[in-house]
Structure 1
Amino acid sequence: MVTTGSPLPPSSVDTAQRLNQAMKRLRARLRAESGQLATGLTATQLAVLAEVVREGPVTAARLAALEHVSPQAIAQSLAVLKAAGLVHSAPDPQDGRRKLVSADPSAGALIERLLAGRASFLVRAMEAAVTPDELDTLERAVELLERLASVELGDAVVVRR
């Protein structure tokens, strides 16, 4: 277990484990419902593709930093995306030693379609499972999840039990 302070009470550890399981199940549902599985691309490859679409021409090193993965992992994803014709690379006009990766127009359309599919599923699921009285609670939960996702822990301490 990794923590930055004193150990969490058992109920917090249980909540963290439940949150992790719920997020894994939701991610799997989003992949299935959005049509992601039919693309033949992994979640990692699609995340890299989405970054290329968002960032515009970008270096592999910048992609690795954005995705918090190694340069080797980015190189593997980019090789698959290039083979699929979704990204292209060209020399950086300001530094010919570097390559800039750009998205093919079809990549933007693919990412938009997947995001729309995910949003559509979530709207339908919310309509089916969330009461009007719970919408405020869901909004607060989303804010908490956003805060959790953006926290910087720095050097974590490993706690052995």
Structure 2
Amino acid sequence: MSASAVRAAHEIRVVIGRLRRRIKETYDNEELTPSQTSVLSRLSKEGPASASALAAAERVRPQSMAATLAALDERGLIQRRPDPDDGRRQLVSVSETGGAFLDDKRRAGEEWLTRALESGYTEAERRTILEALALLDRLTRV
């Protein structure tokens, strides 16, 4: 492996990690625990799931998932309905309130990023960032 590939891999990982944490700081006011946020985001992206499927996906014990879901349910962020394939189970999905909550969080992060790009970078630098992003996007297809 070339030295430049090794260095680029390290720098990409470090910078993306920092940027992700910084964006998260813009909306993470401890309204939800990291576990609750992860489950709500997963349900939003992947659709309805059973509690046991969520526990497996999140790599937690079913009892821990039950507590996480109870907290989300108490806040009205999820809804439960019988599984049409197995009436003994329930499927959990994001409620309308939960979807709005996630939208607000995403919007806050995007607004912060837009302001930071507008105030901290020249037009030429923003174009360079866009060009670099196109290259980074190729990594998602390797």
Do the structures match in fold with TM over 0.5? Answer: yes
1:91 aligns with 2:82: yes
- Relative to structure 1, the CA distance from residue 98 to residue 124 in structure 2 (aligned partners, 3 Å threshold; closer, same or farther) is same
Following superposition, the deviation at residue 149 of structure 1 comes to 3.3
TM-score, with structure 1 as normaliser: 0.68
Q: Which amino acid aligns with 1:18?
A: E
Q: 2:29 aligns with which of 27, 32, 37?
A: 37
In structure 2, the partner of 1:14 is: 7
In structure 2, the partner of 1:80 is: 68
Following superposition, the deviation at residue 72 of structure 1 comes to 3.2
Q: Which amino acid aligns with 2:116?
A: A
Q: 1:23 aligns with which of 16, 23, 29?
A: 16
Q: 1:124 aligns with which of 94, 115, 130?
A: 115
Q: Which of the two has greater helix per residue?
A: 2
Q: Which amino acid aligns with 1:22?
A: V
- The one of the two structures with greater contact order (alpha-carbon pairs below 8 A, sep at least 6) is 1
Partner-residue secondary structure (3-state), 1:29: helix
Partner-residue secondary structure (3-state), 1:107: helix
**Kept after mapping to 2: 8 A contact 1:78/1:87:** no
**Kept after mapping to 2: 8 A contact 1:49/1:81:** no
TM-score, with structure 2 as normaliser: 0.76
User: Any gaps of 5 or more consecutive residues in structure 1?
Assistant: 1-7, 152-161
1:139 aligns with 2:130: yes
Alignment of 1:147-158 (within 5 A): 147-151=138-142
- Relative to structure 1, the CA distance from residue 21 to residue 145 in structure 2 (aligned partners, 3 Å threshold; closer, same or farther) is same
**Kept after mapping to 2: 8 A contact 1:57/1:102:** yes
Report percent identity of matched pairs.
33
Instruction: Please identify runs of 4+ aligned residues in structure 1 that moved more than 6 A.
Output: none
1:114 aligns with 2:105: yes
